[in-house]
Amino acid sequence: MSKIALITGITGQDGSYLAQLLLTKGYEVHGIRRRASSFNTMRLEALHQHSLSGAPSRLRLHFGDLTDASSVTQVIAKVQPDEIYNLGAQSHVNVSFGTPEYTTDVNALGPVRILEAIRSLKIGNKVRFYQASTSEIFGATQEAPQNESTAFSPRSPYAIAKLHAYWTTRLYRQAYGVHASNGILFNHESPMRGETFVTRKITRGIADIERGLQSSIVLGNLDATRDWGHARDYVEGMWRMLQQPEGDDYVLATGVSHTVRTFVETAFRHVGRTIIWEGEDLSEVGRDAVSGQVLVRCDGQHLRPSEVGALIGDASKAKARLGWTPRASFEDLVEEMMVHDMRLGGFSNFTSRAPSRQSGLLESA
């Protein structure tokens, strides 16, 4: 009998990679998707098309929302999953400053709703639960690198809500014996990354500059540093956490950090351009060393009311207990994203391609 997995946030970056991984491992995969007025399952289309060519689809989507306990409970009761991966979230840190209440509802109360559903359906001894926690909970910490013992110091409504979820997950593990794990994941990117996160904004922006569709990329803090890995490696770590005999908390990270500035320089190198920097703070620009064209500008609208410190992760525990190590280097990651975005059409956005078989994924529409 194949295992059954339920993924919230299946339409997102990690959801699509995790669904792919689990299908490859023979799972029956169910996902919760939000109702939207336009199609939002483009990242899953390739998986669905793949299944059309062979056996009946092992991927099923159900309408639901983490802000709606009844939908969450109904889907869990219907699917009877062996594993639940809670990836659904308002995941944009900067957006969370403008929507603190909504972000808290989805990111903090969403996991409470799932874990209460597990309890009320009395499946706590059968189901395993993964919570998508984040390096953002370390926030302003002075300690580097950060690991599972580092003190938390969240600096955004996003991080505070995720910290609530972190403690909730631990509580249900300790108090009710649920196999529940927090994956404290540092930034991970891919060609499937949302277009408003800085890495994809840069790679898409460069592709559109090369096509003559825009003249420059407008960014915020160029000196922010992040520990960037590849989403494909990180979903493998999520799965490994749920294969352990007990639930636990694990950091997943590469242990190497770079600035946004370095990401920009590395990505432009892919199209044969060298960037030279001029000016300071918001007046700083990045010019093409040969033509002198301004390719990068700064704008205060992309600065955050408060920024995190130098986040860099220590994933020794995951390496020792899960046998997990990230495969893709920073250079591999930038290269893959650039190759992908350079191949896409003008105003490259996979979400803008008209889907034809969307409803085939749905149990009820």
By CB under 6 A, name the binding residues for ligand F7E. 91, 93-94, 134-136, 186-187, 196-198, 201, 219-221, 224, 226, 260, 302, 304, 307
As measured in angstroms, the least distance from the Cβ of 319 to ligand NAP is 18
Q: Which residue is nearest to ligand NAP (CB)?
A: 12
Q: Is 297 helix (H, G, I), strand (E, B) or coil?
A: strand
- Asked whether the beta carbons of 248 and 181 are under 8 A apart, the reply is yes
Identity of the amino acid at 267:
A
Active site (annotated) includes residue 136: yes
Do 96 and 156 meet the contact criterion of CB atoms below 8 Å apart? yes
Among 20, 48, 83, 91, binds ligand NAP (CB under 6 A): 91
Helix or strand run (H / E) with residue 34:
none
Q: How far is the CB of 197 from ligand F7E (least distance, A)?
A: 4
Verify whether residue 336 is a known catalytic residue.
no
DSSP 310-364: ---B--HHIIIII-------HHHHHHHHHHHHHHS-SS--GGGSPPSSGGGGBS-
160 near ligand NAP, rule: CB under 6 A: no
Catalytic residue among 134, 141, 169, 203: 134
- Each residue 226-245 as x (binds ligand NAP by CB under 6 A) or -, in order, gives --------------------
Which of 18-28 are b and which e, b meaning 16 or more Cβ less than 10 Å from the residue's Cβ?
A: bbbbbbeeebb
Min dist CB 93 to ligand F7E, Å, is: 4
Choice between 190 and 266, CB closer to ligand NAP: 190
Q: How far is the CB of 283 from ligand NAP (least distance, A)?
A: 30
139 binds, among ligand F7E, ligand NAP, none (CB under 5 to 8 A by kind): none
Q: How far is CA 136 from CA 87, 161, 255, 311, in A?
A: 15, 10, 15, 8
E strand or H helix at 234: helix 231-242
Q: How many residues contact ligand NAP, by CB under 6 A?
A: 26
Which residue, 118 or 165, is less far from ligand F7E as judged by CB? 165
The option from ligand NAP, ligand F7E, none interacting with 8 (CB < 5 to 8 A, set by class) reads ligand NAP
| Cβ closest to ligand NAP, residue 104 vs residue 187 | 187
User: Taking contact as CB under 6 A, which single stretch among the options 184-192, 201-209, 278-286, 347-355 is the one that binds ligand NAP?
Assistant: 184-192
Q: Closest distance between ligand F7E and the C-beta of residue 1, in Å? A: 34
Kindly state whether residue 40 participates in binding ligand NAP, applying the rule CB under 6 A. yes
**22 neighbors 239 (Cβ within 8 angstroms):** yes
User: What pairs with residue 4 in β-bridges?
Assistant: 28
Least distance to ligand NAP from the beta carbon of 78, Å? 16
- Residue 33 pairs in a beta bridge with 63
* Residue 65 is a binding residue for ligand NAP (CB under 6 A): yes
In the bound complex, which residue of the shown chain has the CB atom lying closest to ligand F7E? 224
Give Cβ neighbours of residue 299 (< 8 Å, ≥ 6 apart).
Answer: 218, 219, 220, 282
- Quick check: is 67 catalytic? no
Chain position carrying tokens 């400053």: 97
Q: Indicate the residue among 65 and 314 with the shorter CB distance to ligand NAP.
A: 65
Query: What DSSP element (H or E) covers 40?
Result: none
Tell me whether residue 181 is exposed, middle or buried, using C-beta atoms within 10 angstroms of its C-beta: 0 to 12, 13 to 18, 19 or more: buried
Active site residues per annotation: 134, 136, 158
Give me the residues that bind ligand NAP (CB under 6 A), please: 8-9, 11-15, 32, 34, 36, 40, 65-67, 87-91, 106, 132, 134, 185, 187-188, 194
